[in-house]
Chain A
Amino acid sequence: MNPTFAASPTLRLSADGEVQLAGSWTFAGLRDHAGLRAAVRAQSPQARWDVSHAELDAVGALWLWQDWQGQLPAALRATEAQRTLWRDLVAAQAPAPTPIRRDALAPLRAVGRGALALLTQAQLVCMLWGRLLLASLHLLRHPSALPARELSANIYHAGVSALGITALVGLLIGVVLSYLSSQQLARYGANVLIVDLLGISILRELGPLLAAILVAGRSGSAMTAQLGTMKLNQELDALAAMGLSATLRLAWPKTVALLLVLPLLAVWTSALALVGGMLAAHWELGLSFGQFLDRFPRVVKLVHLWIGLGKSAAFGLLIGLIGCHFGLTAPPSSEGLGRATTRAVVAAITLVIVADALFAVLFSITLRPRP
C-alpha cells in the first residue's frame, strides 16, 4: 500500500479505465516531467483515480487538485495521509479578497497622519529629555549610582576614536576655505582679512558644525543600532526586570558623553581647520605664520570661541537625544531597525542645522563691528 519513493512519476490507464499514478508526484519529480500535468488535465475528474502508489508532496497535491478543477475525484483511491494533505490544502484556500474601497481623502489623511506622527515623535523626545533630567537629579542625590564605566567608554568611543576623522576633515575644509577666500581677497588687496574671515567662520560655525555632523553619522547611528538591537533581543526588558533603568544605564551616559565630548571635538576640529587655513594662506597669499598668529587674537574676539563651545554642547545633547530616542523606540525587526538608524542620522543632522540657524539669529548681536 505504501508508495514507492524517488521514482519518476507516471500516469497509466488500467484495462478497466482506472487512472493510476505512481512514482514521485512531487515538485522535484514533476519539474522534470512537465507534460504530466497536461496528461492529468486530459483525464476526466469523474474517472476512477488511484494515487495510493504515488509519492506526494504539498506542491504535487496542489497541482493535482488544480488539474482536477478544484475538487477531489469522487472515485479516488488514496492513503489516509494523502487525504489529510488534501483536506489541509482545501482548508487553506485563499480567503475571498476584500474589495478595496477608494478613499478620495486619502492624501489628506496621509498628510494628517504624518504631521501627527511627527508631533508624537517630538513628544517622545521631550519625554526622554525629561527622563534624562530626572536621572541626573537621581544621580545628584545618589552619586554612587553614576554609571562611570559606561560614561568613560562612551567618551572614548564618541570622542577619542573620532579624533582622526575630525582632524582630517577639519584640516581639508580649512585648506579649501582659505584657498578660495584668498583668491577673492587678493583681488581687493585685503590679504590680511583672511585671518578675520577664517577665525570667525571656523570657530563659530564650521568647527562645531563639522564635528556635530561627523559625530551624528558616527555615534548617533551607533547608539540607535545598539539600543535597537538590545530592544530586539529583549535585553531592555531584561534590564527593566532586574530593576535597572535603561535611561540611567544606557541613554544617560551616551547623551552626557556627547554633551561633554562634542565641544572638545569642535575645538579640535576648529584648531586643525585653522592650521589648514593658515597653510593655504601662506601658499596663496604669502602670509607668514607669524603674521597670522599675531593678528588672530587681535581680531577674533573670545566670545566666538565661547559661542562655538556652547553650540557644540547643545548639538551633542541633540544628537544623543535623537540617537537614543530612535534606538529605544525602534520597531523589533531588522528592517525597522535599519529604518530607525537612517532616520536617527537624518533627524540629528537636520536638527543640528536648524539649531545652528536659531543660534545664528540669537547671537547675531556679537557680530557687530567693534566701536
Chain B
Amino acid sequence: MSAPAVRLRGVSTRFGERVIHHQLDLDVQQGEVLALVGASGCGKTTLLRHMIGLTQPAAGVVEVLGVRVSPEQFLAQRGLRQRCGVLFQSGALFSALSVLENVALPLLERGGLGRADAAHIARCKLAQVGLAAEDGDKLPAQLSGGMIKRAALARALALDPELLFLDEPTAGLDPLGAQAFVALIAELRALHGLTAVMVTHELERVAPLLDRVAVLADRRVVAIGPLAAVRRADHPFIQAYFAAHDPQGENHGK
C-alpha cells in the first residue's frame, strides 16, 4: 500500500480551555473517498482546516501528500496547496469577482495557461457542476444558496486536484444536484487519481461514492471503515446517529 495521502498523528486542538480534539489519529489512503461524520460542532471543519494547513494543531503531526504542512512555510508549500482543492462550508467565494472569475482565478494563478484557455476550462467546470453559462457573469451576492455551493465546488475542482477537501458538499443542493455531484466525482475518479475527504451530514446521498467513513466523537475518531461496518460499531454515538438517520432501519450500507 502506498503512503497515505493524509496522515494525522496525535492531533490535539484547543480553543482556550475547550479541547476539541485529543490525541486524534487518522489516515486517508491514496485514491479513496473518505467521509467524515460527527455531531454538529464536534470539530470536523477544524480538522479539515488542519489538513489544508490553515491552522496548526496544539500538538501532533499533520502530513499531506507526504509533506508536513505548516502555515509558517506558506510560500515554500505553495505547490502542495495547488495540488489540493478546497470547498469551504459557506462557499467563501470572492465577492468582488464574478463566478467565472472565481473559478478561473486558481487556473490563472498557477500559470502555464492563457486567459482564453483558463476561461474555457472555467466554463467547462461550471457546466459540470450544473451552473448555466449565464450564471458565470453573476456576482456571488446574486447567487442562490445551492448555486453558491455549486460555484464553490467548481472552484475547488478548477485545478483537477489530486486531493479534495469538501466541507458539506451536498448541503443545500436538491436531490438531483446531489446525484449529479456524486456522478461528477465518480467521473473525475475515472479520469485521474483523486483522493477526497468530505465532511457530510447526508451519508445516504453520497453513499455510492464512499470507500470509508470516519466517525468523529469523544474528541477522536471512534470508528473508521466501510459504511456497513461502521454502522455496526458498538458506540453509543454511532448507534444514535444511524438510528436517527433511518428510523425505519433500512440498510444503505455498501
Contact = CB atoms under 8 A, between A and B. Distances in A.
B63 interface: no
Q: How large is the interface on A (under 10, 10 to 19, 20 to 34, 35 or more residues)?
A: 35 or more
A79 B192 contact: no
B192 A94 contact: no
Given A6-B193, A57-B191, A335-B96, A94 B124 contact: no
Contact of B159 (A3, A6, A27, A331): A27
Given A58-B121, A88-B128, A333-B140, A82 B191 contact: yes
Contact of B117 (A62, A81, A84): A62
A2 interface: yes
Contacts of A332: 95, 139, 141
Contact of A55 (B117, B119, B139, B192): B192
**Residue among B116, B119, B124 having the largest count of chain A Cβ atoms under 10 Å:** B124
The 7 closest A-B pairs by CB, nearest first: A335-B96, A57-B160, A5-B193, A92-B123, A332-B141, A81-B190, A92-B124
Contact of A79 (B96, B121, B128, B190): B190
A27 B192 contact: no
B127 interface: yes
Interface string B34-58: 0000000000000000000000000
Contacts of B124: 58, 62, 88-89, 91-92
Interface string A49-87: 000000111110010000000000000000111101100
B231 interface: no
Given A57-B160, A91-B127, 9 more contacts: A2-B190, A27-B112, A27-B113, A57-B191, A58-B124, A58-B160, A59-B117, A89-B121, A331-B141
B241 interface: no
B94 interface: yes
17 contacts: A27-B113, A57-B160, A59-B107, A59-B121, A62-B117, A62-B120, A62-B124, A80-B190, A85-B187, A88-B124, A88-B127, A88-B128, A89-B124, A92-B120, A92-B121, A333-B95, A335-B95
Interface string B115-148: 0110111011111100001000001110000000
B192 A57 contact: yes
A334 interface: yes
A6 B141 CA distance: 39
Nearest to B111: A31
Contacts of B191: 3, 55-57, 79, 81-82, 85
